[in-house]
Amino acid sequence: MANVAIRLFTLLAACAVVVACGSAAATAKHPLPASSATPDAAAVARCQQLAQRHVTPCPPANLALEHIAIHNGTHGAVGDAIAGEEGAAYLREHALYDWAVRQPNGDAFLMSGALVPPETGRTNIFRAEIKLFEDARAADGSPHVQPLITTDATLVAVPAALQDAARRDGLQPSPYAWVDNQAGPGRAWYQTPDGVAHDEVRIADGQPHPILVFGQVEQDPELGSLWFVGGEYGCLASIEVRDVCGV
Protein backbone atom coordinates (compact mmCIF):
# COMPACT_ATOMS: atom_id res chain seq x y z
CA MET A 1 0.00 0.00 0.00
CA ALA A 2 1.54 3.31 -1.04
CA ASN A 3 2.38 5.99 1.51
CA VAL A 4 0.96 8.97 -0.35
CA ALA A 5 -0.20 11.29 2.40
CA ILE A 6 1.10 14.86 2.58
CA ARG A 7 0.61 16.51 5.93
CA LEU A 8 0.19 20.27 5.26
CA PHE A 9 -2.05 20.63 8.29
CA THR A 10 -3.80 23.73 9.52
CA LEU A 11 -3.59 24.95 13.09
CA LEU A 12 -6.00 22.69 14.95
CA ALA A 13 -5.26 22.87 18.64
CA ALA A 14 -8.59 23.39 20.36
CA CYS A 15 -9.52 25.70 23.17
CA ALA A 16 -12.82 23.79 23.22
CA VAL A 17 -12.78 20.11 22.32
CA VAL A 18 -16.31 18.86 21.62
CA VAL A 19 -16.90 15.11 21.43
CA ALA A 20 -19.77 14.56 19.01
CA CYS A 21 -20.97 11.09 19.93
CA GLY A 22 -24.08 11.71 21.98
CA SER A 23 -24.40 14.00 24.93
CA ALA A 24 -20.81 13.83 26.17
CA ALA A 25 -18.61 16.89 25.81
CA ALA A 26 -15.29 18.05 27.17
CA THR A 27 -13.88 21.55 27.34
CA ALA A 28 -10.16 22.24 27.46
CA LYS A 29 -8.83 25.12 29.52
CA HIS A 30 -8.10 28.36 27.70
CA PRO A 31 -4.31 28.83 27.59
CA LEU A 32 -2.72 32.11 28.48
CA PRO A 33 -1.59 34.08 25.43
CA ALA A 34 2.06 33.73 24.51
CA SER A 35 4.01 36.53 26.13
CA SER A 36 6.52 38.72 24.32
CA ALA A 37 8.25 39.60 27.60
CA THR A 38 11.66 38.31 28.59
CA PRO A 39 11.39 34.52 29.15
CA ASP A 40 11.34 33.53 32.81
CA ALA A 41 13.61 30.94 34.36
CA ALA A 42 11.09 28.13 33.86
CA ALA A 43 10.75 28.92 30.14
CA VAL A 44 14.52 29.02 29.72
CA ALA A 45 14.90 25.72 31.57
CA ARG A 46 12.19 24.14 29.40
CA CYS A 47 13.97 25.14 26.21
CA GLN A 48 17.26 23.88 27.61
CA GLN A 49 15.67 20.52 28.37
CA LEU A 50 14.32 20.32 24.83
CA ALA A 51 17.72 21.25 23.40
CA GLN A 52 19.33 18.45 25.40
CA ARG A 53 16.87 16.10 23.65
CA HIS A 54 17.87 17.68 20.30
CA VAL A 55 14.36 19.12 19.98
CA THR A 56 14.93 22.51 18.36
CA PRO A 57 13.85 25.18 17.76
CA CYS A 58 11.99 25.61 21.04
CA PRO A 59 8.22 26.08 20.62
CA PRO A 60 6.27 28.44 22.89
CA ALA A 61 4.68 26.79 25.89
CA ASN A 62 1.33 28.35 24.94
CA LEU A 63 0.35 28.30 21.28
CA ALA A 64 -2.63 30.05 19.71
CA LEU A 65 -5.60 27.71 19.71
CA GLU A 66 -8.79 27.34 17.68
CA HIS A 67 -12.10 25.55 18.08
CA ILE A 68 -12.37 22.23 16.25
CA ALA A 69 -14.95 19.45 16.46
CA ILE A 70 -13.71 16.06 17.66
CA HIS A 71 -15.98 13.07 16.95
CA ASN A 72 -15.93 9.68 18.62
CA GLY A 73 -16.56 7.18 15.83
CA THR A 74 -15.60 4.04 17.77
CA HIS A 75 -19.25 3.10 18.51
CA GLY A 76 -18.61 2.82 22.23
CA ALA A 77 -15.30 0.96 22.09
CA VAL A 78 -13.66 4.11 23.43
CA GLY A 79 -15.54 6.24 25.93
CA ASP A 80 -16.36 9.84 25.11
CA ALA A 81 -14.22 11.20 27.94
CA ILE A 82 -11.16 9.30 26.75
CA ALA A 83 -11.85 10.27 23.13
CA GLY A 84 -11.99 13.91 24.23
CA GLU A 85 -8.65 13.64 26.02
CA GLU A 86 -7.05 11.93 23.05
CA GLY A 87 -8.57 14.53 20.75
CA ALA A 88 -6.99 17.33 22.76
CA ALA A 89 -3.62 15.55 22.51
CA TYR A 90 -4.09 15.09 18.76
CA LEU A 91 -4.89 18.75 18.26
CA ARG A 92 -1.88 19.78 20.33
CA GLU A 93 0.29 17.89 17.86
CA HIS A 94 -1.36 19.91 15.09
CA ALA A 95 -0.51 23.17 16.81
CA LEU A 96 3.14 22.15 17.13
CA TYR A 97 3.23 21.15 13.46
CA ASP A 98 1.68 24.44 12.39
CA TRP A 99 4.21 26.38 14.46
CA ALA A 100 7.16 24.35 13.14
CA VAL A 101 6.46 24.82 9.43
CA ARG A 102 6.48 28.59 9.97
CA GLN A 103 10.00 28.57 11.41
CA PRO A 104 13.10 29.05 9.21
CA ASN A 105 14.55 25.79 10.55
CA GLY A 106 11.28 24.10 11.32
CA ASP A 107 12.32 20.87 9.63
CA ALA A 108 14.73 20.28 12.51
CA PHE A 109 11.77 20.20 14.90
CA LEU A 110 9.74 17.95 12.59
CA MET A 111 12.63 15.48 12.43
CA SER A 112 13.58 15.72 16.12
CA GLY A 113 11.45 12.77 17.23
CA ALA A 114 9.16 14.99 19.29
CA LEU A 115 6.05 14.33 17.16
CA VAL A 116 6.91 11.16 15.23
CA PRO A 117 9.77 8.66 14.88
CA PRO A 118 12.33 10.46 12.67
CA GLU A 119 12.40 7.81 9.95
CA THR A 120 8.60 7.75 9.72
CA GLY A 121 8.62 11.52 9.52
CA ARG A 122 11.18 11.50 6.73
CA THR A 123 9.59 8.79 4.58
CA ASN A 124 5.88 9.18 5.32
CA ILE A 125 4.36 11.97 7.37
CA PHE A 126 6.59 14.98 6.72
CA ARG A 127 8.08 13.87 3.41
CA ALA A 128 6.85 16.89 1.44
CA GLU A 129 7.82 19.35 4.16
CA ILE A 130 11.35 17.98 4.55
CA LYS A 131 11.92 18.19 0.79
CA LEU A 132 10.60 21.76 0.78
CA PHE A 133 13.02 22.90 3.49
CA GLU A 134 15.94 21.11 1.83
CA ASP A 135 15.18 22.63 -1.58
CA ALA A 136 14.74 26.11 -0.09
CA ARG A 137 18.03 25.83 1.77
CA ALA A 138 19.87 24.63 -1.35
CA ALA A 139 18.52 27.63 -3.29
CA ASP A 140 19.31 30.09 -0.47
CA GLY A 141 15.57 30.69 -0.32
CA SER A 142 12.84 30.77 2.32
CA PRO A 143 10.26 27.97 2.75
CA HIS A 144 6.56 28.69 3.10
CA VAL A 145 3.62 26.42 3.95
CA GLN A 146 -0.08 27.24 3.71
CA PRO A 147 -1.66 24.33 5.61
CA LEU A 148 -4.84 22.65 4.50
CA ILE A 149 -8.11 23.49 6.25
CA THR A 150 -9.49 20.88 8.62
CA THR A 151 -13.17 20.90 9.55
CA ASP A 152 -13.23 18.01 12.04
CA ALA A 153 -11.44 14.86 13.19
CA THR A 154 -12.99 11.49 14.07
CA LEU A 155 -11.48 8.68 16.15
CA VAL A 156 -12.11 5.33 14.42
CA ALA A 157 -11.15 1.70 14.93
CA VAL A 158 -8.44 0.29 12.65
CA PRO A 159 -9.01 -3.31 11.47
CA ALA A 160 -6.20 -5.81 12.07
CA ALA A 161 -5.72 -6.29 8.32
CA LEU A 162 -5.01 -2.59 7.78
CA GLN A 163 -2.67 -2.53 10.78
CA ASP A 164 -0.75 -5.42 9.22
CA ALA A 165 -0.53 -3.59 5.90
CA ALA A 166 0.76 -0.48 7.66
CA ARG A 167 3.47 -2.51 9.40
CA ARG A 168 4.56 -3.89 6.05
CA ASP A 169 4.88 -0.29 4.87
CA GLY A 170 7.20 0.47 7.78
CA LEU A 171 4.63 2.40 9.82
CA GLN A 172 3.62 2.00 13.46
CA PRO A 173 -0.16 1.49 13.33
CA SER A 174 -2.52 1.66 16.27
CA PRO A 175 -5.88 0.05 17.13
CA TYR A 176 -7.51 3.48 16.79
CA ALA A 177 -6.64 6.36 14.49
CA TRP A 178 -7.87 9.82 13.58
CA VAL A 179 -9.66 10.61 10.36
CA ASP A 180 -8.58 14.19 9.71
CA ASN A 181 -11.14 15.72 7.36
CA GLN A 182 -9.11 18.35 5.54
CA ALA A 183 -9.27 20.06 2.17
CA GLY A 184 -7.64 22.76 0.09
CA PRO A 185 -6.52 25.36 -0.42
CA GLY A 186 -3.04 24.27 0.54
CA ARG A 187 0.38 25.18 -0.77
CA ALA A 188 4.07 24.54 -0.12
CA TRP A 189 6.63 26.72 -1.90
CA TYR A 190 9.94 28.46 -1.45
CA GLN A 191 10.98 31.92 -2.51
CA THR A 192 14.46 32.60 -3.85
CA PRO A 193 16.38 35.85 -3.24
CA ASP A 194 15.28 37.18 -6.65
CA GLY A 195 11.67 37.08 -5.43
CA VAL A 196 10.57 34.12 -7.57
CA ALA A 197 8.20 31.63 -5.92
CA HIS A 198 8.77 27.95 -6.65
CA ASP A 199 5.72 25.76 -5.97
CA GLU A 200 6.28 22.21 -4.72
CA VAL A 201 2.72 21.36 -3.62
CA ARG A 202 -0.48 23.16 -4.55
CA ILE A 203 -3.92 21.84 -3.62
CA ALA A 204 -6.95 23.60 -5.06
CA ASP A 205 -9.61 25.29 -2.98
CA GLY A 206 -12.12 22.69 -1.77
CA GLN A 207 -10.14 19.68 -3.00
CA PRO A 208 -10.58 16.95 -0.36
CA HIS A 209 -7.49 15.49 1.24
CA PRO A 210 -8.66 13.46 4.27
CA ILE A 211 -6.02 11.40 6.05
CA LEU A 212 -5.95 8.50 8.52
CA VAL A 213 -3.44 9.19 11.29
CA PHE A 214 -2.10 6.37 13.48
CA GLY A 215 -0.56 7.03 16.88
CA GLN A 216 -1.02 7.12 20.61
CA VAL A 217 -1.13 9.66 23.41
CA GLU A 218 2.20 10.35 25.09
CA GLN A 219 2.95 12.59 28.04
CA ASP A 220 5.91 14.72 27.01
CA PRO A 221 7.57 16.43 29.99
CA GLU A 222 8.20 19.64 28.04
CA LEU A 223 5.52 19.63 25.33
CA GLY A 224 2.58 18.22 27.30
CA SER A 225 0.09 15.52 26.35
CA LEU A 226 0.24 14.96 22.60
CA TRP A 227 -0.63 12.41 19.93
CA PHE A 228 2.68 10.76 18.97
CA VAL A 229 2.13 9.87 15.33
CA GLY A 230 2.96 6.40 14.03
CA GLY A 231 2.26 7.11 10.37
CA GLU A 232 -0.60 8.07 8.10
CA TYR A 233 -2.40 7.14 4.90
CA GLY A 234 -4.38 9.29 2.54
CA CYS A 235 -8.00 8.22 2.95
CA LEU A 236 -8.46 8.19 -0.82
CA ALA A 237 -5.39 6.02 -1.47
CA SER A 238 -7.17 2.67 -1.49
CA ILE A 239 -10.54 1.00 -0.95
CA GLU A 240 -9.34 -0.48 2.37
CA VAL A 241 -8.33 2.90 3.78
CA ARG A 242 -11.38 4.61 2.31
CA ASP A 243 -13.66 2.14 4.13
CA VAL A 244 -11.96 2.80 7.48
CA CYS A 245 -12.14 6.55 6.93
CA GLY A 246 -15.80 6.33 5.97
CA VAL A 247 -15.39 8.42 2.84
Q: What is the pLDDT of residues 166-207, one digit of tens each?
A: 999 999 999 999 999 999 999 999 999 999 999 999 999 999
- What tens digit of pLDDT does each residue of 73-109 get? 999 999 999 999 999 999 999 999 999 999 999 999 9
Percent of the chain with pLDDT over 70: 83
The model's confidence at residue 33, banded by pLDDT at 50, 70 and 90, is very low
End-to-end Cα, the chain, rounded Å: 18
Buried-state track 135-144, b at ≥16 Cβ within 10 A, e below 16: bbeebebebb
By DSSP bridging, strand 14-19 and strand 211-220 are: unpaired
Query: 29 pLDDT band (50/70/90 cuts)?
Result: very low
How do beta strands 66-72 and 14-19 pair?
Answer: parallel
Helix (H, G, I), strand (E, B) or coil at 150: strand
pLDDT band for 27, please (50, 70, 90 cuts): very low
Instruction: Measure Cα distances from 61 to 23, 42, 55, 95, 99 in Å.
Output: 32, 10, 14, 11, 11
pLDDT tier at 126 (50, 70, 90 boundaries)?
very high
With contact defined as beta carbons under 8 Å apart, do 63 and 14 qualify? no
- Number of residues that make up the chain: 247
Q: Percentage of residues in the chain with pLDDT exceeding 90?
A: 79
Dihedral of the alpha carbons of 52, 54, 55, 61, in degrees to the nearest 10:
10
Burial 81-116, CB ≥16 within 10 A → b, else e: ebbbbbbbbbbbbbbbbbbbbebeebbebbbbbbbb
Query: Residue 38's pLDDT band (boundaries 50, 70, 90)?
Result: low
Looking at residue 8, its pLDDT comes to 56
Nearest residue to 12 via CA among 210, 138, 166, 151: 151
Question: How far apart, in whole angstroms, are the C-alpha atoms of residue 1 and residue 134?
Answer: 27
Predicted confidence at residue 64, as pLDDT, reads 75
pLDDT category of residue 214 using cuts at 50, 70 and 90: very high
Q: Which one, of 164, 140, 156, 154, lies nearest residue 70 by Cα?
A: 154
Helices (H) and strands (E) in the chain, counts: 7, 9
pTM: 0.84
Question: What is d(CA 28, CA 49) in angstroms, rounded to the nearest whole number?
Answer: 26
Residue 68's pLDDT is what? 81
